[in-house]
Structure 1
Amino acid sequence: MARFKKRRKVTKILMIILIPLLVVFVGAAAYASYLASTAKTVVESSQHKLDSRKFDEKSEMRLEKVDPRVDNISILFLGIDDGEHTFSDSTRTDAMILATFNEKSKSVKMVSIPRDSRVELVGRGRMDKITHAHAYGGLDMAVNTVEKLFAIPVDYYVRLNFDAFIKIIDALGGIEIDVPFDIVEQNSHREKNKIKINKGLQKLNGEQALAYARTRKYDGDVERGQRQQEILKAIIKKGLSIRSMTKYGDVIESIGDNLTTNMTFDEMLAFHDYAYAGKNIDVEMLTLKGKPARINRLYYYLLDDTSLDEVKTKMKQHLEFDGTDANDSGKTEISTDDNGE
């Protein structure tokens, strides 16, 4: 059981760092003619429309369908725990990241939603952990719950069962990180003291970056989250500055059958503009503050109302969404569904 829990923690870190890279990488790689066919096949074989959007293919919060080539859009990235029995709608999400993309400024804002956040699950009518939304109602409940929580439309979703962290870092030739302390950690095979990293500016390979992301020996959970955000930014900027399209090919091939999305290949292609921004792309990671609590002997993460409102405002402004805040959640006071993890 201890090993399973440890594996889930590592998987969560992988998802938080990896998932937001997918759309930009695919969009950039597709502009190389010899990769376009592979990228198109991967995306087209991964198509899945939400049941609630089978006819108009847009969020109910939108007056009309958006076009990522000209509009600001939002994407919900979902990481499915690969320790679960299947890659399906009955599994819990191990990571949920909401991102807004501003076409004019070529900037991205992202917020990672703690999996134990206590929110109202749309369609279930009660408070529970947000990780359970996907398990109870699949992609529809997960997307609708996030829309209600942040009061902005979720235009697209990308779901991955994905553990190719090391391969992606290595394919990019490593990333540069200013390491704040000496690190001695286990490797991905749980072999103790196999990873040693010195303090200072270092070029980390995949194994080293994973150890840097997951270590809990040297600081707290807040700092660990900041390290993960630092790695995410480093991967994005390194990836978007790469001129060799073969590196994008390695990333795309590692996606394989692990992708489900409602984005078309042409829509993903629109993100080549962000690739052209290269190292100048502005990526801001937002943080949802809160506190741990036990309710009926179960662990929850209670989101701070002020922090939630600040994040909602920033994302709404970045999306330039002027819809009414009719779906305000986070402060709901309805019945609790106490169903364990």
Structure 2
Amino acid sequence: MVESRMTRNKKKKRPVLKTLIITFAILLLAAGSAFAYVATQIQNVTSESQVELERGDQSEQREDAVKPDVHPVSVLFLGLDTRDGDLDGRTDAMVLATFNPDEPSIKMVNIPRDTLVPIPGRQAEDKINHAHAYGGVDLTVDTVEDLFQIPVDYYVSLNFDAFMEIIDALNGVTIDSPMAFEETDNQTYGTIQIEEGEQTLDGEEALAYVRMRKSDPQGDIGRGERQKEVMASIVDEMASFNSITNFNSLLNAIGNNLYTNVAFNDMVDMHAYASELDNIESFGYDGEGVMQDGVYYYQPDEFSLEKTRQRLQVHLGLRASIDPEFEEALEGGDDGNEVEPSGEPNLEWNENDGNEDAGGMENDEWNNSENTEEESWQQDGAENDTQSGQQNGTEDNEEWETTDNNSW
């Protein structure tokens, strides 16, 4: 049985992941700098994080090899809800970025983790974030290529620890909290206390600050403002970052929690995009929330999805222009995932049937340490996710499923 309800989508930017992307891009700049020591350190870190795809260094959708400073390329950024250096869990955030050196320009598309898609080698459609559980980054890249019908040239996988350790390496970030509230650390609620007013937060405090929603009377709007504030603070800290000792800590924070197939030479080639970091064009695709057998999915609107495909294909130089019907939609202001949320209630967590919601419980990822044995799908496949939605009611091992599509 399928239950469907149209939802007017919020603009989904994954601000925490975007912070990591910007930080990573700043490091690309450093790699191309004149400081041989810094470049050598980056080369050492990136070589340790280098994990090639099984296909090799070229997408099957490419006839010839590409270079970031010469050809338009794409990078798939994956935010994994794992910690302690583990990069094998499910993807909780997915952003596809395309880079065009001729303009130069950067475009970003958020991919809601619950998007219902065909996954290569699977009989039935499933959530796109399950591709990582089924076949790691290789299957995830294949799935995204099929969804948008473009080559994915590079990938970057980061986890929660990267966000926290980057901030710790910067000796914290300064924020001005509009309210006092308590949040959870990875064990106990109330452990983290944020005071009202200006203060410096360490990594774990900053993660709690950007993820809190329920204590904010402005809800997601307030959370979005806090995420922008922390992102700006990180960029400010990076701009004045001069200590080689701390720079090594920053590199280690990235290196210990990152896998990528971006080679050091490619990083050097990408430094030309640094001037465009403040002018990234973000868009998405519309869709509707559907319930199938007690499990929530995000069903893409085919018109909106095709429009997004063509925009990416044009930016990558794979087609000359988008079709007139999609051009008209863009001129009318339809950019995908740009609409304000409606007044309809969210698909709330139901203690009687275990259905997850689209709005989400922001603290669910902290429960991973409690859920490891229950969520065996991380090793054996994602089928247990669907089963837990049908069988386990309010068991703790379902809580991760309630994260929304707006932040991680």
TM range (shorter): 0.7 to 0.9
> Is 1:26–1:269's contact at 8 Å kept on the other side of the alignment?
no
1:65-107 Cα deviation digits (max 9, x unpaired): 110122221101122221699533xx32222111112223443
> Is 2:67–2:266's contact at 8 Å kept on the other side of the alignment?
yes
Q: Which of the numbers 139, 144, 147 marks the counterpart of 2:145?
A: 147
Name the stretch that deviates more: 265-274 or 143-152. 265-274
Tell me the residue number matched to 2:78: 78
Answering whether residue 66 of structure 2 is matched by residue 69 of structure 1, we say no
> Is 1:75–1:98's contact at 8 Å kept on the other side of the alignment?
yes
Residues 1:85 and 1:295: Cα distance change in structure 2 (over 3 Å): farther
> Is 1:233–1:283's contact at 8 Å kept on the other side of the alignment?
no
Cα displacement (A) at 1:191:
2.7
Tell me the residue number matched to 1:42: 45
Answering whether residue 385 of structure 2 is matched by residue 340 of structure 1, we say yes
Cα displacement (A) at 1:125:
4.2
Tell me the residue number matched to 1:332: none
Q: Which of the numbers 113, 125, 128 marks the counterpart of 1:127?
A: 125
Residues 1:170 and 1:47: Cα distance change in structure 2 (over 3 Å): closer
Tell me the residue number matched to 1:266: 265
Q: Tell me, what secondary structure is at the counterpart of 2:118?
A: strand
Tell me the residue number matched to 2:207: 210
> Is 2:85–2:256's contact at 8 Å kept on the other side of the alignment?
no
> Is 1:298–1:338's contact at 8 Å kept on the other side of the alignment?
no
Which whole-Å CA distance do the structure 2 matches of 1:98 and 1:229 have between them?
20
Tell me the residue number matched to 1:304: 301
Which whole-Å CA distance do the structure 2 matches of 1:233 and 1:306 have between them?
33
Tell me the residue number matched to 2:101: 103
Residues 1:162 and 1:303: Cα distance change in structure 2 (over 3 Å): same
- Report the residue type matching 2:267 in the other structure: M
TM-score computed with the length of structure 2 as normaliser: 0.63
TM-score computed with the length of structure 1 as normaliser: 0.74
1:290-329 Cα deviation digits (max 9, x unpaired): 332210122212223343234333333333332999xxxx
How does 1:169-208 map onto structure 2 within 5 Å?
169=167, 171-172=169-170, 182=179, 184-186=181-183, 188=185, 190-191=189-190, 194-198=193-197, 205-206=201-202
Identity %: 37
Which whole-Å CA distance do the structure 1 matches of 2:145 and 2:232 have between them?
29
- Report the residue type matching 1:79 in the other structure: G
Tell me the residue number matched to 1:251: 250
- Report the residue type matching 1:119 in the other structure: V
Residues 1:129 and 1:267: Cα distance change in structure 2 (over 3 Å): same
Q: Tell me, what secondary structure is at the counterpart of 1:50?
A: coil
1:196-215 Cα deviation digits (max 9, x unpaired): 345xxx78745664344212
Which whole-Å CA distance do the structure 1 matches of 2:227 and 2:311 have between them?
18
Which whole-Å CA distance do the structure 2 matches of 1:236 and 1:192 have between them?
24
Which whole-Å CA distance do the structure 2 matches of 1:151 and 1:245 have between them?
44
> Is 1:114–1:301's contact at 8 Å kept on the other side of the alignment?
yes
Residues 1:298 and 1:257: Cα distance change in structure 2 (over 3 Å): same
Tell me the residue number matched to 1:163: 161
1:149-169 Cα deviation digits (max 9, x unpaired): 112211101122341324434
Cα displacement (A) at 1:235:
6.2
Q: Tell me, what secondary structure is at the counterpart of 1:71?
A: coil
Q: Tell me, what secondary structure is at the counterpart of 2:63?
A: coil
Unaligned runs of 5+ in 2: 1-13, 323-381, 387-408
> Is 1:29–1:248's contact at 8 Å kept on the other side of the alignment?
no
Name the stretch that deviates more: 126-135 or 283-292. 283-292
Which whole-Å CA distance do the structure 2 matches of 1:224 and 1:237 have between them?
20
1:205-236 Cα deviation digits (max 9, x unpaired): 45664344212123687647844873586367
> Is 1:176–1:234's contact at 8 Å kept on the other side of the alignment?
no
- Report the residue type matching 1:70 in the other structure: V
Tell me the residue number matched to 2:58: 58
> Is 1:48–1:262's contact at 8 Å kept on the other side of the alignment?
yes
1:24-75 Cα deviation digits (max 9, x unpaired): 13312222322222211111122222222x3xx2112222111012222110
